[in-house]
Structure formats: structure tokens, C-alpha cells
Structure 1
């Protein structure tokens, strides 16, 4: 694996794979993955939806700009998203809906009758909803494989089981050492390491930005009556749960954010139990079985916006991290934005300024 590369990307999940694909054959790219296969961590554990309000107004431009690519290339399928509120939260929900409608997101306000039509068995107390008809399910595995295949055709060199063990900057760029003793050289080093973003920065002698991983839990349930196929993604305005159907089953999350070290995250029984208890506050469905459970790590910068751009103190070090739980739905626009910065191209559909790492200087 010795040789000189223009760009070395640490991490071959959705972030690293999408960036390698968009860079194409313009530069020589080395894509390093610590695990034995790409996408083992956050990418492979996504709840798999695209909705423009998820992540907040600061993330919405990336999500909206990604929608065209995802739709045109067949990675989206109809779903709809419904954010629901209890009595007393009407003003808060109306503000939520108005803030996104002002950004061009389609939002329809629903009363109790509208909620009952979309969520059978809805318990009393839930009085108002904000429905986003444009929400879609994402074929996460298909999108990730598309990016990996595109990058490979363009000449990207992917190396799995290639954990970065050291990175030293020198006059010509970076000298990289892997934990199996192999070495490589690159002019620019890109940190797309997800939950490991800050440790990778420290390894390279770059000041970490405070990108912190948090555990998120999802359980797959069999419920009675059976989950309707046209059930929308249902989210709580207070961010205590969300759920959606999948092949006749229900995917349910307690919307947990538990601080965690970077690791192979595993679900905790208490989090699954909490999710089920919260579901029982919403519907009268009976949970017959927990068929599967998993957890992944969502990594946030201190202001909860992603970090895309060259480090202000180390000019050949590029941040592509802090995507939180919205890295899948924003991948096309984020990769385009980052590739333009790396190649010195003019900005595209999304202004890179809000995501620049120098905001933490």
C-alpha cells in the first residue's frame, strides 16, 4: 500500500465513501477503513429515513439539496413523517411547522381527526400533528454500495482492516502508519472517522473540536394489530420517541442520546424497555415480541452542526465529521460541498460557511 496519494480519507462509512465517489478520478484517493468491511458502525445501523425537518433548520439545506440525487437515483421510497404533540404543546408545534415552512419544506397541520386517520389506535391526549408528505425511506445499503462502487471505478484504493495508528505532517503532506505496520503518504488527510473523529485528530496532532458520540437505540417489534404499511414515520415533538414500519414490523427508538466512548455500540435493556413504555403512551398496540435490537453512535460537534472544511491551524487537514444522526440523508450534498472545498471549486447548492471548522477557533 505504499505510495503517494493526493487525498487519504479515514473512514469508509457513508461519509468517506460518498466523498471518495464524488472526488472521482480528479485526484488519487486512499480510503482507509478500520473494520473488515465498510459501514459496520453508524452507516449500517441507521433508521433509514429522509425528512427535511430532522436535524433542525441548520441541517435542512443539506437534506433538501440531497433529495434530488436520492430520488433520481432510486434510493427513496414514499413514507411521510408526522410529528405529534400533546394538548398544551400546540404553540410549540405551530412554531416548529412555521419555521420549516418558511424554509420551503411542505408541512401540513393536522388535528385529532387527522392524527387518528394516520395512526390507528392513537391514545387520547395527542391533539395536533405536523405532517411532512415528502418524507421518504432511504435504501441505506444500496446508497452506500453505490458510492463504494463509484469510488472503485474512479480509481479509489479501499483498504479494510486498516486502522490508522499514526499520522505525521511533513513538508509534502502526511506520513500515515497503520496498526499492521503498513505505511502510506498523502498530501491531504480527511477525517471522516465518525465517532472516532476527535481521537483521529489528536493522533494527527490536530486540536480536537469536541465531537462527542452518543448512543441511539432501535428495537424491531412485532405488534398487534399488525403495523399498517402506510403508517408514516411518527416522531414526538418532545423528542422522546420515533417509530416507523418496516416489512410488517415496527422500528422503535426512545430517541436516546447517551454519551459513549467510540466503540461497537450495543443496546441496553433499559433503553428498549423505555422505548416500549413510551410507545404504550401513544397507541393501544400490544407488543408481542422484541425481535431484534441494535444501537449505533451519533456524533455531534458542540453546536450540533456538521463540520466540513480545512482545519484553520493545519491547512492540509480536512474535517468531514459531526454528522449526528443525519449523515445518511445529507450525504449527497455534504460530499459535493466537501469535494468542492478540497478541489478549490466554487460553492454549489449549499453554502459551506455554517459548517466550517473555524467557527470553533
Structure 2
């Protein structure tokens, strides 16, 4: 028999690690019509979890994620400190990566789905009536996977057939969909591609997904992680602090896939060829960068900001998993109650791949 309450981490407001409240008495959510109840088996950690906690999305914040990742920021405007730009409601259960097993269904959903091992699409369109360029992020606009149970729309919850561990599957939703979406938007093919932040969760996903498309991958990472990034499929690894024009040559890259931004940003456009494309879905080194507009228009560059995902992006990922075309790297797993330690390790960036939380399992 399923209990009435569950273990979960409640985010109680924007700020430091002290805003993460591990509780054992949180009511288990009930699926509404069209929803599933999922017993969470594993939930990955992402930059967005930390960014949301510290209010980094607020335009009042100018620093990189690492600056306030542990303690938060003094100057956060709660009114725009979320993906959607609307205030979050607290408490909130975060966790954009939900891997688990369907244990109950709401009205209008077939009982045949009970028992499926599933991944939840992290960018939910159901709740905004599938309007273009709108979505809810699970764990931000609605509760997510840092708990023993979560609810999600049945239509956006995908059964997965593979021999991966739960922790490996939990590494996919946010990082790999973010990565695939950038490649989808920039229409990346068998080209020469520069990937920043290549050892992180999204960066390591980009390396694999770009190689899957037949591209030559030049990866930026710390020198200590060169071997690990090469093992992901990179053709060459360059130190993340290197002079890119000196290392690669001006106009030498077809595409730049960027997750870092910061002070190095102008050089990303310098190494693009005429007609090249730049795509970004992050700015962990700092959100403000200087652009010489002459570089943009005289080189006929195209810049893509990538958040919203077309429906096929997540569906394609499920296909890649089941075809054995990708495989995530899990650096370490942690009990859910150790979320502060896991986020501390995440911010230290000494790992390659994903860090994953494992909630206590419930026998029903």
C-alpha cells in the first residue's frame, strides 16, 4: 500500500543552500485528468536547479552562476527570477530530470501505462496549450523530481526500453534535450563544431550528439579533463582559457555551441566562418557579453538563443537511447537527502558528466 506522504526537498525561496529543506512528511501528489503518478527512481542535477534556487534568471543578477551558487545573490528581483519571467510559488519541489515508474494514472489515461519505466519531457507544453515558444519547466513552474513521487502529463511522459540504469536515464531529460535542441535549431550536420563547457552535463551531451551527426568536434574544457572529453568523442580538446583565434584560426569553425558566454564570448564569433552559426542555451561564466555588431553583419552570422523545444527534439532523444546511439556519463550518485553536498560538488566542476540524486525507494 502506498503511503500518504513522501520524502522531498522543498525549495523555500531564492537563496543559498539553506533554502533546500529535506522533508519526510510532504503529501504525495495526486494525478489530475491526463496525468500520471511516477515513483521517482533517479533525478539528475542541472545548472537550472541552481540558477532557479539562487534567482540567477533575474535581470538584477550580472554575475556567473558560480558566484552565487552556494550562498545566493544579494540583488535578486523575485518577480523575474524564473525561466518564464513570472514569479515562482514556494515551496517548490525542483528537479528537471524525472526518471521513474508509473504507479497510478488520472482520468483519461489508460491503466496499461502502470509499470512503465519513463522519462518526463522537462519542457512541458501541455500546461500552456502547446502555444509556440511557451512552456513550463518541470521543477520550476511545477513540482519536479527531487522527491519520491511526481506527477506529469501522460502525453509528455515517454516509456523507454533500454538496459540503462535509472541514474543513466535520469541524466538525459534536461541536459540532452538542451543539447539536441541547440543542434536542431542550428541545423548542425557534418561540419566543424566548437563546443564550450564540454565536460559538464550539457556539454558532454553536445559532444556525443554532434558526433552522432558526423561532425568534427573541437571541445573547450579544463586541461585536467582532456582524456575524459576525448573519450566522449571529441576530435580535439583545447584548454578553456586558450586564445581561440591563435589556436584555431579566425573563421575556422562552421558552428559554435556555447554554454559558457562570459568574457571569452567575442572570440566565439571571431572563429566562426562567414555564414557561420552560433547557438547558446547557457551563460555560466556570466550573462553579459560585448558584441561588435560589425562582426555579426559583415560575416553574415546567425545567432540562436535556444530554450523552447519543438516536440520532435525529446522524441528523437528517446529514439537515440533505444537505438543505442548515445550513452551518458554518470560521475556520481547521491542520496536525495545529500542534495546540498551534490550541488556543492556540481559547483566545484571537478567531475565529467552528470551528478544524480537517488530518492529512498518505496515498496508498494
Q: Tell me the TM-score normalised to structure 2 length.
A: 0.21
| Larger relative contact order (Cα-Cα within 8 Å, sequence gap ≥ 6) | 1
Greater share of strand residues, 1 or 2?
Answer: 1
Q: Tell me the TM-score normalised to structure 1 length.
A: 0.21
